Structures are given as structure tokens and as C-alpha cells.
Amino acid sequence: MSKNAREDILEVAKKAAQARGYGGLSMRDLAAEVGIKAASLYYHFPSKADLASAVAKRYWEDAAADLEKIWDEYSDPAERLRFFPVTFRRALENENRMCLCSFMGAEYDDLPDPVKKEVQVFADVNVAWLEKALVATGAVEPDASEARAKAVFAAVAGAQLMARSRADISLYDTLIESYRTAGLLPA
């Protein structure tokens, strides 16, 4: 693919993990897609756990950068919140994939600790951004803003999961719109 095998591995592994999770991520298949042998993977990453941890870390770093971009592009607090669900929509647009961290959240029991840690940072980053954005709208009581931010995150993740389980992206849009009608997200 590119000149940098390590980059290729991370990229292909990310897409695979978004579709099949940690357990479903096959080192042999991954290697084949990158164009090397499975054993060669272990030159770049000491173990599957290390690889997945690096993938999850980059995943939340990219998410954080995306959220920063939304923040800077819009000044209206409600406008910013309008765009939050778009980042989760993109995974579904991308061949019905889902958030890597939602999938791995489900796999909690089988997740190596370093991976678990990065997965939780992803949620932390999203919740912190949402809380900041919600407080700025002034529509949420300050002492309820953290709980509300978590609620929005959980609900959006749930919408993505449900839409994926039907391979129906229009269902995702319906769900987000219902959240707005119900008052969970600003209309």
C-alpha cells in the first residue's frame, strides 16, 4: 500500500476492528491485506493487544481532532451539537462500520487492559466535548451537564449500534431526529 508498513497495518486494522471487533480481528487476514506474512506483524507490534491498543489510541486522537474542528468551525453552541452525530454517522457510511470503541466496549470481558484503557479514553474525550458544548447552550443545568453529556454519548452510540444491526443508515437519522424531538439534543 504505502511506503510505511506500520501505517498500513494501523489503517487496515482500524477498519477491520470497526467491522469485526477485537476478537474478530484476524492477524493472518490483516497481514494478507497489508501484503506481508502474519509473523511480520510481530516485528511492528509485539502482540495483537499492543496493535489494538495503538489502533484505539489513534482512534480517539483522531476523534478528538475532529471534535476540535467542529468546535472551531462553528461558534453557535447549538450548531456545534448539531454536528456531533455526524462523526458517528460517518462510520455507518463507511460500509456499515461502527465505532471501534463501541464494539470493543461490548467485548469488555476479552479485552486486554491496555486496549480497555484507550477505549475508555475515547468515551472520556467525547463526553468532555459534549459537556463543554452543552454548557455553552445554557439549556442544561450546570450540575446536570456531565450526566447529560454521558446520556447523549450513550444514546448516539446506541443509535449507531441499532442502525448497524439493520444495515440501515436512514434508521440512524430517524433516531437522531427523535432524540431532538424528545429533547435529548437541541432541536
Partner DNA sequence: ACCTGAACACCGTTCAAGT
Q: What secondary structure letter does DSSP report for 59?
A: H
- 17 is in the binding site of which of a second copy, DNA, none (Cβ under 5 to 8 A by kind)? none
Q: How far is the CB of 58 from a second copy (least distance, A)?
A: 19
Residue 136 binding DNA, by CB under 7 A: no
Quick note: the x/- pattern for a second copy over 25-54, rule CB under 8 A, is ------------------------------
Helix axes 48-73, 113-137, angle to 10 degrees: 10
Q: What is the 3-state secondary structure (H, E, C) of 137-179?
A: HCCCCHHHHHHHHHHHHHHHHHHHHHHHCCCCHHHHHHHHHHH
How buried is 79 (Cβ within 10 angstroms: 0-12 exposed, 13-18 middle, 19+ buried)? middle
Q: How far is the CB of 8 from DNA (least distance, A)?
A: 9
Quick note: the x/- pattern for DNA over 46-85, rule CB under 7 A, is xxxx------------------------------------
- 96 is in the binding site of which of a second copy, DNA, none (Cβ under 5 to 8 A by kind)? a second copy
Measured CA to CA, the distance from residue 36 to residue 29 in angstroms comes to 10
Quick note: the x/- pattern for a second copy over 70-109, rule CB under 8 A, is --------------------------x-x--xxxxxxxxx
Q: Considering only residues 9, 10, 14, 21, which one is a binding residue for a second copy as defined by CB under 8 A?
A: 21
Measured CA to CA, the distance from residue 65 to residue 7 in angstroms comes to 18
Q: Of all helices (H) and strands (E), which one includes residue 92?
A: helix 77-93
Q: Which stretch binds a second copy (CB under 8 A): 4-12, 39-47, 61-69, 159-167?
A: 159-167
Q: Hey, what's the cell of 158? A: 446506541
Contacts to DNA by CB under 7 A: 5, 25-29, 36-40, 42-44, 46-49
